[in-house]
Amino acid sequence: MRLLGIETSCDETAAAIVDRDDLSGHGAILSNVVRSQLEEHAPYGGVVPELAARAHVSHLDHIIGRAAEEAGVRLAELDGIAATAGPGLIGGVLVGLTTAKALAAALGKPLLAINHLEAHALTARLTDGLEFPYLLLLVSGGHSQFVLVKDVGAYERWGTTIDDALGEAFDKVAKLLGLGVPGGPEVERRATAGDPRRFRLPRPLLKEDRLDFSFSGLKTAVRLAAEDIAPLSEQDVADICASFQLAVTDIVTTRARAALARFRVALAGVPPTLVVAGGVAANRAIGAGLRAVTDALDARLVVPPIPLCTDNGVMVAWAGAERLALGQADDLTVAAKARWPLDSADMGLGHAD
């Protein structure tokens, strides 16, 4: 089973082809093409939705052609066409989904309208052959949540952010400090030369018995700390970055510890596995903290290769293959969604057996 996956939910134009073996359920990546729009958006300090959509229109056909060429597969030989249908910037989502509909109609192939979050949730089954169930920590520019992954299409959200996503908080702190974009890697780089104990920053919600996140207050505390000592020296910037990174690491690891404890209670006898996905999974300090937590709790930690943690077509193609293997597909009237929660009650929207 060979599927094309199209991803255009934000500022990466991506297409990939994956192969899924019907008997074993194992998969292989035949191609993975991603075009970043970083240079287009850098002058604006963040992603401009209209510019992102226009870039998708300009480059998507070429990206799909490259993906087919690198895979050595003609489009007519595909078994299905998968595309992100949400959540995301609606203009970009429309470009990818409309293209997928056109290909599916022209080629007579099944269409799979994929939830972007589900694609992240299922990637570890491709890369590590995971069996259900497992716990997902999704930390990216748009999402920060814990999800119990029970099966394809069966998800239970245990916690989410009540304001900013973690990746968004990293980017906003970087912008505040004049570090440019992408902000997360630059904050991490500066933090290596800083004193993480210099600034006493808050850890919001940690005293509450819940698995939700809040980063807005932490971001405000960083701004106030910077204003108090302005103008900032290079060392000041490094110390702020280090203090901020320590705060978010404490928050994420404390929540992960509680989520794994809940997993053990809810699924007694099932060895716990924590899967981390999203761009923030590349942060080494957070990764080390999560490794310490899983080692201490005798749990397994799975982090797919970083190029597959950020937005890509592979995860979309694989999610499509998983759904197609169950006999699921979508008709051409399926709508793009700016918001599409990853929860079992919402996952059936648009899918037909």
pTM: 0.93
242 and 122, same domain (yes or no): no
240 within some domain = yes
170 and 314, same domain (yes or no): no
Residue 221: give the domain boundaries.
Answer: 132-303
Adjacency order of strands within the sheet including 111-115: 27-36, 12-20, 2-7, 80-86, 111-115
In degrees rounded to 5, what are phi and psi of residue 124?
-65, -20
What pLDDT, on the 0 to 100 scale, is given for residue 328? 97
Tell how far CA 302 is from the center of its chain: 14
106 and 165, same domain (yes or no): no
Residues in the chain: 353
351 within some domain = no
Adjacency order of strands within the sheet including 144-151: 154-160, 144-151, 134-139, 273-277, 300-302
How do beta strands 80-86 and 2-7 pair? Answer: parallel
166 and 19, same domain (yes or no): no
Minimal CA–CA distance to 211: which of 256, 274, 170, 169?
Answer: 256
Minimal CA–CA distance to 147: which of 185, 127, 119, 187?
Answer: 119
What pLDDT, on the 0 to 100 scale, is given for residue 344? 56
101 and 146, same domain (yes or no): no
Minimal CA–CA distance to 317: which of 99, 18, 61?
Answer: 18
344 within some domain = no
What 3-state DSSP class applies to 349? coil
25 and 90, same domain (yes or no): yes
Minimal CA–CA distance to 263: which of 211, 185, 225?
Answer: 211
217 and 146, same domain (yes or no): yes
Phi-psi region of 50 (alpha: psi -120 to 50; beta: other; left: phi over 0): alpha
What pLDDT, on the 0 to 100 scale, is given for residue 40? 87
115 and 223, same domain (yes or no): no
Give the whole-angstrom CA distance, residue 187 versus residue 319: 32
225 and 165, same domain (yes or no): yes
| pLDDT tens across the length of the chain (353 residues) | 999 999 999 999 999 999 999 889 999 999 999 999 888 888 887 789 999 999 999 999 999 999 999 999 999 999 999 999 999 999 999 999 999 999 999 999 999 999 999 999 999 999 999 999 999 999 987 889 999 999 999 999 999 999 999 999 999 999 999 997 778 999 999 999 999 999 999 999 988 999 999 999 999 999 999 999 999 999 999 999 999 999 999 999 999 999 999 999 999 999 999 999 988 888 999 999 999 999 999 999 999 999 999 999 999 999 999 999 999 999 999 999 999 998 855 555 444 33
Q: HSE on the CB side for 90, CA within 13 Å?
A: 6
The CA-based dihedral angle spanning residues 120, 144, 153, 114, taken in that order and rounded to the nearest 10 degrees: -50
Structure tokens at 113: 């309208």
What pLDDT, on the 0 to 100 scale, is given for residue 353? 32
Structure tokens at 297: 């709790």
59 and 178, same domain (yes or no): no
60 within some domain = yes
> CATH number, domain at 186?
3.30.420.40
122 and 146, same domain (yes or no): no
Minimal CA–CA distance to 148: which of 140, 159, 136?
Answer: 136
- Residue pair 34/67 in contact (Cβ under 8 Å)? The answer is no
Structure tokens at 264: 């053990």
In one-letter notation, the amino acid at residue 158 is: W
Structure tokens at 155: 């998800």
Report how many domains make up the chain: 2
117 and 143, same domain (yes or no): no
90 within some domain = yes
Upstream peptide bond of 204 is cis (omega within 30 degrees of 0): no
99 within some domain = yes
350 within some domain = no
Give the whole-angstrom CA distance, residue 227 versus residue 177: 10
Upstream peptide bond of 182 is cis (omega within 30 degrees of 0): yes
| Biggest CA-to-CA distance, the chain | 63
332 within some domain = no
What pLDDT, on the 0 to 100 scale, is given for residue 351? 40
